[in-house]
């Protein structure tokens, strides 16, 4: 099986996370890791991502404490 890593930058994206992950989870080729890089979100993005980290071991999050350009 191919090893696939998906890297997703996020910033205040809570309203899109569920649909995005659902579209990844239903693919016939499964990603071996799904890495979110959160750019200091101020909405519920971090809270939602933390739930997915507990739900699926493939989901990882890198949290940036300060916004980057």
pLDDT, tens only, 1-31: 558 999 999 999 999 999 999 999 998 888 8
The pair of three-digit structure tokens given for residue 65, joined into one six-digit string = 């404490």
Q: Which pLDDT does position 60 carry in this prediction?
A: 96
Question: By the 8 A CB rule, do 33 and 5 touch?
Answer: yes
Question: CA of 6: how far to CAs of 33, 42, 43, 66, in Å?
Answer: 6, 23, 23, 23
59 vs 65: CA distance, rounded Å: 19
- Quote the mean pLDDT of the chain: 92
């Amino acid at each position: 099986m191919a090893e696939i890593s998906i890297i997703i930058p996020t910033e205040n994206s809570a309203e899109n996370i569920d649909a995005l992950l659902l579209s990844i989870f239903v693919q016939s080729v499964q990603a071996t890791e799904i890495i979110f890089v959160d750019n200091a979100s101020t909405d519920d993005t971090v809270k939602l991502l933390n739930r997915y980290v507990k739900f699926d071991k493939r989901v990882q999050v890198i949290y940036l404490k300060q916004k980057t350009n």
